[in-house]
Amino acid sequence: MTVLVTGGAGYIGAHTVRALRAADREVVVLDTLERGNRQAVVDTELIVGDTADQRLVAKICKDFKITSVIHFAAYKAVGESMIKPEMYWSNNVASTEKLLAVLAENKVDKFVFSSSAAVYGTPKSVPVTESASAAPESVYAETKLAVEKYLGTLTLNSVSLRYFNAAGASSDNKIGEDWSASQNLIPQVMRALLDSAFKFEIYGNDYDTPDGTCIRDYIHVEDLAMAHLKALEYLESGGRTLVCNIGTGQGTSVTQLIDLTEKIANRKVPFTVAARRSGDPVSVYADASLADRTLGWQSTRSLHNILESAYTWHSTHPNGYR
């Protein structure tokens, strides 16, 4: 029972590969390494290639006797998606359709999809449940929703995990997020602390929130990795196609996150305020009770744990995996 993890050399993918291996799962990773790191998969079988390469995917399915897939391979920068929409539709949607076609031919019928809370846009109320209307505000979010809808029409069983803001590093400080390849907030905050040449900007402080900055739900990447394992177990036990939130249920503003980081690091985070960024929702945090009921999953780590692990990782790996 081998699991194919596409994009498994990326930040969340690599942590999930570790969680699978720790559970004694057979794993093979498919990654282009365009935005992933070979070192992050450690000694897991890695095949360098594209999910759109149907001949390669078919060979992997046969050679490794693939029974299930966890699909991370996608571009994920909101701002970039608004500037290069064609690239996002091609890579995130068209390539996924090609992958799914090969899986159907090879009778691989269990599929865990890396979706995003970005599909909600700015919800009418928070914490947001899965029954809330989807209202994407970026091309990135549109591509995630498109794949979810496509999965809902297929015969294979899938779990689409709408996860919130993954952050932090592994408990043993061996893998984390490379700030040079990420536009996520926490690695940028850490870079502002540790790299004097880096200019960190907050995108907007005039939102309709208590302190004017955007509010998000930050979840430790190891908690998130465990959600993928739980989703796989759900499918293996006969679970049907499902969409569910993966978050903590706690909303944190950009300003609050910076304040807590400063307490942990005992130093100021230098920043300037820039204009709002196109595609950024105002306030989004999760109601993750469905994941608890159906997958038996809950978050276990606090924001303090997240920021502390991120600070430790970036302090000891200022050049990422290089």
Supply the residues annotated as catalytic. Answer: 140
What is the full DSSP assignment across 17-49?
HHHHHHTT-EEEEEE--SSS-GGGGTTSEEEE-
The answer to whether 243 and 115 have CB atoms below 8 angstroms apart is yes
Can you tell me the distance from the alpha carbon of 158 to that of 148, in angstroms, rounded to the nearest whole number?
9
User: Measuring CA to CA, how many Å separate 40 from each of 18, 185, 225, 311?
Assistant: 9, 21, 14, 18
Paired sense of beta strands 66-71 and 45-48, if any: unpaired
Q: Which residues on adjacent β-strands are paired with residue 191? A: none
> Per this entry, what is the length of the chain?
322
184's CB contacts (< 8 A; 6+ apart) are: 165, 166, 167, 177
Q: Quick count: other Cβ atoms within 10 Å of Cβ 133?
A: 10
